[in-house]
Chains A and B, each alone.
Chain A
Amino acid sequence: MLKTLINELVEKWPELWPILAAIAVILAVVPFLGLYMTFIERKLAAYVQDRVGPNRVGPFGLLQAVADGLKIFLKEQIIPDHVYTVLYFLAPTLSLMTAMFALVVMPFGPVPTNYTGGFRFIVAPGIDIGILMMIAISSLSAYGIIVGGWASNNKYSMYGAIRSCAQFISYEIPLGLSIIGVIAVAGSLNIEHIVDAQSKSIWDWNIFWQPLALLIFFTSALAETNRLPFDLPECEQELVGGFHTEYSGIKFVLFFLAEYTHIVTVSFLTALLFFGGWSCPGIPSPSTPEGASLTYMLLGLLVLVLKVSCVVALIMLLRWALPRFRFDQLMGLAWKGLIPLALVNLIGVAIVLSLDLPKHLLVVTAVLPVIAAYYSATQFNASMAKLNSERSVLSKSRAMSYE
C-alpha cells in the first residue's frame, strides 16, 4: 500500500515538484507580503501626511513588520463570552483560506502558454476557467466577513457584515461585466492566454482599447477589497471596528492578512488583465523559444512585479486622497453608474467583434463616463431646482402666515 504510493510519487515527481514549489512560494510569500504591505502602507501614509513613519526597529524601520508580527503572535487570546465559538473561530480562517485559494490560478510570473516542464510561476497552470474561478473564489471571502460579523454577536460587527455583504453583491456585477470584453477578445478565460493575447505590442495592452473597463474594474475591485473610499464594512467612526471589532491577536491578523492578500490579488489582476502582465517591449513572450530562457523569465517577473507595485501604490495613495463614500452613494455608484456603463461597454465590444471592426475603435468608450457624468449632473441640478422652488413656495406661505 505504502509502497505503491511511494512508487506513484516517484513516478509523478517531475510533474509534481513544480506545483509543490509554487505552493511553497505562495505560502511563504503571502504572509511575508502581508506583513510588509502593512509596513509600506504605514510608511506611505506617513509620507503623505508629512510624518516620518516607523523608523525605530532596524534600518529605516524595516524590521518593524517583523516586530509587529512577533508581538501579535504573543498576544493573549481573548474570546468574548457572548460569541458563537465555532463560527467565531471559523470566520478568520475562512477569510484567509478563500483569499489564498484564489491565488491558485493566478500567474505570479511569466508562464508560457505551451506549459513546458520545470518550475512555473503558477500553482495550477492551464486552468481553462481561470479568471472565472478566481472571481468566484474571491467573492467567497464575503462569507468570512459575514460569519465573523454574525459570530461576534455584536451589533456593530453585524452592521459591518451586512454592509460588506451588500457591497460585495453590488460590486460583483460591474466587476464581472467589465472583464467580459477582455475575455471576449482574448477568446479565453485562461489568464495566461489573456496575457499572451496582449504580448505582441504595447498597443495590444487591454488598457488601450478598454479604458472604461479598466476604470470600472478598478473601482469595483477597490470596493471588493473593502479599501477606502469603500471601506464601509469597517469604518471606525460609525462601527467601531466593523466586522472585526471582537477579534484580537492572531485571529485579527488572519482577517488582516486576508485583506492584504485581496489587495495583492486585485493588483495582480489589474496588471495581468489590463497592463499586459509580464509583457513589455523588448522582452520576448515566454511562449516563444528564446523568451523561455531564464533571463527573460526573470525579466518578465520583474516587469510584472513592477506593474503590480505601481497598482498597489496607487491603491494605498487613493486611501489618503479620497474621503469615504456614504452608503447610498456607494450603492448608487454601483447600480446607477458602473453597471449601466459596463453594459454599454459590453454592447460596444459585441458590436466590434461581430462586425469584425478593429478593436481599437473601442477607445471611444472612454467618452461614456463623461456623458454619464453630464447626465447625472443635469439630473441632480434639475432635482435641486425643483426642491428650491418648492422651498421658496413654502417660505412664501410661511411669510403669509406670519402676517
Chain B
Amino acid sequence: MSNKKTKTVKWGEEPKLGMLDALYLPAIVSGLATAVRHAVSGKPTTRQYPEVEPEIPPNYRGVHRLNRDEQGRVKCVACYMCQTACPANCIEIIAAPAPKDDPHWKDRDKYPATFTIDELRCIYCGMCEEACPVDAIELTSVYDLTGLTRKEMVFDKEKLLSVFDETVKTGKDPVRTNRGTLGPASEEAPTGRQGPPPPGRGKHG
C-alpha cells in the first residue's frame, strides 16, 4: 500500500495517583478550607431584590411605551407596521383621520383612535419597535410588570402613554445600540445621516 498511515489512535493517559491523593485527607482539608473561606468572607453576591433594584441595561426589552412628539400628541401615525410585524399578534390598532379642524392636529393626517397591546401575549421581541417608521413605539427597561387580572395587563393608549411619561420622568429612556438609520418620517433623523447611532435619545419631543 502506498498510502501508509502513520497516525493511529492516541490514548489519553490518566494522571498518576500520588500517595496524598489516595489518602483523601489533604483533598478533604483543602475542600473544607475553601468552604470556610467563602463562609467567612462575608461578601455575598445576593441582591436583596425588592430593596435593592437590579441595574437594568438601557437596551433591555421590557414594557412598551408610546412616545409623544414635541406637542405632547401621540407620535404614532397609525401605519399598522408594528401590528403587521408583531409575531405574537398582540397589537391592535384602530386608525382614525386626524381631526383637521383642530389646530392642534392640523399637520397630521392619521392617528390611532385606540392602540392596545396585550402585554401577556407579547414575547418582548422588539419587532414592533424595529418596524415603526417614526419611532413611536419603544420597549423600555421597566421589567417588574405585574397585575391581578388578565384584563389589566392589556394596555391601552393612555396606559402606554403614561409609561412614556413615567420613563421620561425617571430618566430611564431606552437606548438601542444597533438602531441604524431612522426612517424619513422620523423628525429625529436628518435625511441621509449614516453611521453609528447617538448614545442616548436625548429629546423625545
Listed in ascending order, the chain A residues whose CB lies under 8 Å from chain B are 44, 46-52, 314, 317-318, 320-322, 369-370, 372-374, 376-377, 380-381, 384, 388, 391-392, 395-396, 398-399, 402-403
Check if A48 sits within 8 Å of B14, measured CB to CB: no
Closest-CB distance, B44 to chain A (whole angstroms): 5
* Residue with the highest number of chain A CB atoms closer than 10 Å, among B22, B25, B43: B22
Check if B46 sits within 8 Å of A321, measured CB to CB: no
Complex CA–CA separation, A399 to B6 (angstroms) = 7
Task: Identify B38's interface contact among A49, A388, A402, CB under 8 A.
Answer: A49
How would you classify the secondary structure of chain B's contact residues: helix, strand, loop or mixed? Answer: loop
Q: What residues on B are CB-neighbors of A46 within 8 Å?
A: 44, 46
Task: Identify A50's interface contact among B13, B43, B48, CB under 8 A.
Answer: B43
- What 9 pairs between A and B have smallest CB-CB spacing? A321-B31, A373-B23, A377-B22, A373-B22, A399-B8, A47-B39, A402-B5, A52-B46, A391-B11
B1 within 8 A of A: yes
Sample of 19 more A-B contacts, CB < 8 Å, known A47-B44, A374-B19, A398-B8: A44-B39, A46-B46, A47-B40, A314-B32, A317-B39, A369-B23, A373-B20, A373-B22, A373-B23, A373-B24, A376-B22, A377-B17, A377-B18, A384-B16, A395-B8, A398-B9, A402-B5, A402-B8, A403-B1
Q: What residues on A are CB-neighbors of B40 within 8 Å?
A: 47
Check if B45 sits within 8 Å of A50, measured CB to CB: yes
Number of A-B contacts (CB under 8 A): 84
Q: What residues on B are CB-neighbors of A392 within 8 Å?
A: 11
Closest-CB distance, B9 to chain A (whole angstroms): 5
Check if A322 sits within 8 Å of B11, measured CB to CB: no
Q: What residues on B are CB-neighbors of A314 within 8 Å?
A: 32
Check if B22 sits within 8 Å of A388, measured CB to CB: no
Closest-CB distance, A217 to chain B (whole angstroms): 15
Given A51-B46, A370-B19, CB of A321 within 8 Å of CB of B5: no
Check if B19 sits within 8 Å of A395, measured CB to CB: no
B36 within 8 A of A: yes
- Pairs across A and B, CB under 8 Å, 10 listed: A47-B38, A47-B44, A50-B43, A317-B39, A318-B32, A374-B19, A384-B13, A392-B11, A402-B5, A403-B4
Check if A377 sits within 8 Å of B35, measured CB to CB: no
Complex CA–CA separation, A396 to B6 (angstroms) = 10
Check if B44 sits within 8 Å of A50, measured CB to CB: yes
* Residue with the highest number of chain B CB atoms closer than 10 Å, among A46, A48, A372, A380: A48
Task: Identify B48's interface contact among A52, A321, A396, A399, CB under 8 A.
Answer: A52
Complex CA–CA separation, A369 to B46 (angstroms) = 41
How would you classify the secondary structure of chain A's contact residues: helix, strand, loop or mixed? Answer: helix
Closest-CB distance, A98 to chain B (whole angstroms): 30
Q: What residues on A are CB-neighbors of B10 within 8 Å?
A: 395
Check if B28 sits within 8 Å of A322, measured CB to CB: yes
Query: Number of residues in B with C-beta < 8 Å to the partner?
Result: 35
B149 within 8 A of A: no
B144 within 8 A of A: no
Check if A320 sits within 8 Å of B35, measured CB to CB: yes
Q: What residues on A are CB-neighbors of B4 within 8 Å?
A: 403
Q: What residues on B are CB-neighbors of A373 within 8 Å?
A: 19-20, 22-24
* Residue with the highest number of chain B CB atoms closer than 10 Å, among A314, A321, A403: A321
Q: What residues on B are CB-neighbors of A380 within 8 Å?
A: 17, 22
Check if A51 sits within 8 Å of B44, measured CB to CB: yes
B170 within 8 A of A: no
B34 within 8 A of A: yes
Check if B38 sits within 8 Å of A321, measured CB to CB: no
Given A52-B46, A318-B32, CB of A399 within 8 Å of CB of B22: no
Check if A377 sits within 8 Å of B43, measured CB to CB: no
Q: What residues on A are CB-neighbors of B36 within 8 Å?
A: 48, 317
Given A47-B38, A321-B28, CB of A381 within 8 Å of CB of B17: yes
Complex CA–CA separation, A46 to B22 (angstroms) = 30
Complex CA–CA separation, A243 to B18 (angstroms) = 37
Complex CA–CA separation, A372 to B25 (angstroms) = 12
Check if B32 sits within 8 Å of A317, measured CB to CB: yes
Residue of A nearest to B40 (CB): A47
Residue of A nearest to B26 (CB): A373
Check if B34 sits within 8 Å of A321, measured CB to CB: yes
